[in-house]
Structure 1
């Protein structure tokens, strides 16, 4: 390849368009959700769960951001609480973080937890919260379903419209380890980072149910 051809190839790569997939939940329902199929069983002793979300829901209303339920247990649920705090629950009482309110401007969130130390924290737009100790030596069990948009009070059922997600969500990635802060910052800034080994948004199998719009746009 000549020097001129190499320059032309480099130019073409620089002009390549990246398409981003987003899920839009346009209104409250008790039936609309998206099931995400994990790349491997979700038996977890640690995790990093990241996503980009935007919602105009305000006031005293819970919003489910991520729900993983086995037959009998809510294994991992992520919420915006009535008072605006963000939280996650591992088969019981949750851990809560007082952070700036979610809104119409897209927010990058990452939730981290490690069973061996019990350390739990979250990152909001690349900034880390204080650490808390939560569910030390606990294990998240495999064999359930992951849903975006609804909180199942039983296995894939008993949805409550007043807890449903309304807004836009994308870039949901999950790892079975706690990622270093530098990698989370790279993701927030849109730099290339290793993809999730539990969920990889670029290749994830999504099962759409109800009134959920799937849109793509240029990055």
Structure 2
């Protein structure tokens, strides 16, 4: 494992189901200096599924952000996070969707997904491949804008920046995949060998600009 103190561009591609994957470890104490920018060309989206694997025991006094997407006209185009009580929430087009899904910071690996569709505002939170909370009427007829910036581990108050240390994620995170549809077999994605990726962000293929975050590699099937 190595600690990167400068921006490094990593390329991962063509991994098979038996290969190890890159895991990010965002450090404690919280800092605005630790984050990863994902270089993804993003279309306008009227539906979305964002998935990731995370392991953390960090509580903090505020929110901890797995993933954020910001564009020039909207810093909270999409957020995936949990609050100080370990409860999952998300933002779409500047509106928050609180959920009852908790125990994020139990120190164990979990696979999390948030899906949304502007048609009817259907949303679902998945934990370890299974629906854990769902509803309708959330941000109907909205479109998440194109050509934004994806950041792992921080909430963007400006595009690509404006971080607040008290909102930084602390812990391990990997397998970040995003699709521009909610028609995804999440149970299959949550399987330990999820070597297929999203059509917006594919973890194995996306270029990662890493800032003061350590990395290691592990077989997904061995994560506990």
TM category, shorter: 0.7 to 0.9
**Any idea what SS the aligned residue of 2:134 has?**
coil
Counterpart of 1:121 in structure 2 is 124
**Which one has a larger percent helix, Structure 1 or Structure 2?**
1
Please state how far the C-alpha of 1:41 moved relative to its aligned partner: 2.5
How far is 1:104 from its partner?
Answer: 1.1
- What CA deviation, in whole Å up to 9, does each residue of 1:49-84 have, x standing for no partner? 100011111254210111101123121011102333
Per the normalisation by structure 2, the TM-score is 0.83
Change (3 A) 1:17 1:177: closer
Question: 2:128, 2:190 within 8 Å by CA — same for their partners in 1?
Answer: yes
In 2, Cα distance between equivalents of 1:17 and 1:121: 30
Corresponding residue of 1:212: 213
**Within 5 Å, which residues of 2 pair with 1:1-219?**
17-27=18-28, 28-38=30-40, 40-58=41-59, 60-73=61-74, 74-102=76-104, 103-128=106-131, 129-180=133-184, 183-192=185-194, 194-209=196-211, 211-219=212-220
Task: State the Cα deviation string for residues 180-215 of structure 1 (Å, max 9, x = none).
Answer: 4xx211122225564210011111110011x20121
Q: Distance in 1 between matches of 2:144 and 2:50?
A: 13
Tell me the matched-pair count: 200
Distance 1:93 1:81 in 2: 16
Q: Which shifted more, 112-121 or 51-60?
A: 51-60
Return the alpha-carbon distance in structure 2 between the equivalents of residues 69 and 192 of structure 1.
27
Secondary structure of 2:187's counterpart equals helix
Q: CA RMSD in A?
A: 1.7
Structure 1 unmatched runs, 5+ = 1-15
TM-score normalized with structure 1 length: 0.85
Q: Which runs of 5+ in 2 are unaligned?
A: 1-16
